[in-house]
Amino acid sequence: MTGIVFDIQRFSLHDGPGIRTTVFLKGCPLKCIWCHNPESIKPLPQLGYRPEKCTSCMICIHACPNLVHDATHKLHTMDFTKCKFSGNCIQACPSDALWQIGREISSEEIMDEVIKDQQYYENSGGGMTLSGGEPMLQFSFTLELLKKAKEHKISTCIETSGYAAKEKFAVLLPLTDLFLFDYKATGEDIHKTLTGVGQDVILSNLDFLAQNGARIVLRCPLIPGINDQIEHLQAVSLLSQKYQSIEAVEILPYHDYAKGKWVQVGKTNLLKEMPSASLEDKDLWTEKLLNMGCVKLV
């Protein structure tokens, strides 16, 4: 079985306990305005562009059959909406300014990479983490990878937005040792405004997993002035108190490291003027959550 993956990171320390290998699957049904992996949203391989490497040689214009590239005013511009990903311009580019984001890869190839560090997993309590994008979007491939990891006695973890059919979570639950479950905003309308989807399905799946013995870390991306309202922090605290299955609540302060990624995939960054959250921001959020009784905060 094959899937579309855009990165495999070995020796990852922030995607679950211990030393881990994180497999990043392409495709996400959400459109979070703060997304730090905008290259993961599209489910298929796509064109990437590094403007800092472009020499404006314009060779790509003649190589591309779909008129993606233009040289108006002797500057290289691109219309990503025209791209059908022939790959011709990537092969023609002499400066490595164009590249392919995502590739089709078999589950066997991925596991060959994952098992290289099995000794580190055993010594540190680590394992394999499936991230994205949203791993549930490539459900059959995700299921295959989890089964293979279990065959090798490797601990498994899924980072998920929670936005998928409950039946899929039911299938994956016995094969998943830990769910890194994102909780992004509180309230159906504001959740849809900030992420493109409503919250009801996500809350229903969180309840299902918690009621059926899943181990959960609630991960909360917080962006100053966007989703750090007191109502949202109160909801986070209440969820941590409601479900025994939630082992920890993890604050993920907004960072602006992904600013360049939006340009690379031809998307508009709605938060391009937003600076990274400060240590003071995180300390204030932590203080408020602790005062609200969020005892599982890490």
Q: What would the 3-class secondary structure string for the chain be?
A: CEEEEEEEEEEECCCCCCCEEEEEECCCCCCCCCCCCHHHCCCCCEEEECHHHCCCCCHHHHHCCCCCEECHHHCCEECHHHCCCCCHHHHHCCCCCEEEECEEEEHHHHHHHHHHHHHHHHHHCCEEEEECCCHHHHHHHHHHHHHHHHHCCCEEEEEECCCCCHHHHHHHHHHCCEEEEECCCCCHHHHHHHHCCCCHHHHHHHHHHHHCCCCEEEEEEECCCCCCCHHHHHHHHHHHHHCCCEEEEEEEECCCCCHHHHHHCCCCCCCCCCCCCCHHHHHHHHHHHHHCCCCCEC
Cα–Cα distance measured from residue 159 to residue 250, given in angstroms and rounded to the nearest whole number: 13
Same domain, 151 and 71: no
Question: Does any domain span residue 296?
Answer: no
Band of residue 295 on the pLDDT scale cut at 50, 70, 90? confident
Which of left, alpha, beta for 175 (phi over 0: left; psi -120 to 50: alpha)? alpha
**Rounded average pLDDT over 96-120:** 97
62 and 14 in one domain?
no
Residues 82 and 168 in one domain: no
Q: What is the largest CA-CA distance in the chain?
A: 62
Domain assignment present for residue 185? The answer is yes
How far apart CA 287 and CA 282 sit, in angstroms, is 9
pTM over the 0.85 mark: yes
Cβ(128)–Cβ(145) under 8 Å?
yes
Domain that holds residue 233: 2-43+104-291
Does 110 share its domain with 93? no
The tens digit of pLDDT for each residue in 43-98 reads: 999 999 999 999 989 999 999 999 999 988 788 999 999 999 999 999 999 999 99
- Taking only the tens place, the pLDDT of each residue in 151-182 is 999 999 999 999 999 999 999 999 999 999 99
Q: 221-263: per-residue pLDDT in tens?
A: 999 999 999 999 999 999 999 999 999 999 999 999 888 899 9
Cβ-Cβ contacts under 8 Å for 208 (sequence gap 6 or more): 166, 169, 170
On whether both 92 and 199 belong to a single domain, the answer is: no
Between β-strands 20-25 and 2-12, what pairing exists: parallel, antiparallel or unpaired?
A: antiparallel
Kindly state whether residue 70 falls inside one of the protein's structural domains.
Answer: yes
* Token output for 79: 């219309």
We report the CATH number of the domain holding residue 50 as 3.30.70.20
On whether both 192 and 238 belong to a single domain, the answer is: yes
Q: Are residues 26 and 112 in the same domain?
A: yes
Q: Total structural domains in the chain? A: 2
What mean pLDDT comes out for the span 111-115? 97
Q: Are residues 169 and 226 in the same domain?
A: yes
Residue 28 and residue 53 share a domain: no
Instruction: Report if residue 298 sits inside a domain.
Output: no
Q: Directed axis angle between helix 279-291 and helix 230-242, to 10°?
A: 50
Do 117 and 214 have their domain in common?
Answer: yes
Rounded-to-integer distance, Cα 99 and Cα 179, Å: 32
Looking at 74, 101, 128, the residue that finishes a domain is 101
Token pair of 54, please? 């472009």
> Quick one: angle between helices 139-151 and 107-114, nearest 10?
40
Asked, for residue 259, whether it belongs to a domain, the answer is yes
Q: Above pLDDT 90, what percent of the chain?
A: 95
Query: Can you tell me the distance from the alpha carbon of 188 to that of 6, in angstroms, rounded to the nearest whole number?
Result: 31
Cα angle, residue 114 at apex, residues 217 and 140 outer, rounded to 5°: 70
Question: Given this model, what pLDDT does residue 258 score?
Answer: 87
Q: What is the mean pLDDT of the chain?
A: 96
Asked if the structure places residue 248 within a domain, the reply is yes
148 and 263 part of one domain = yes
Confidence bin at 298 (pLDDT 50/70/90): confident
Whether residues 83 and 205 share a domain: the answer is: no
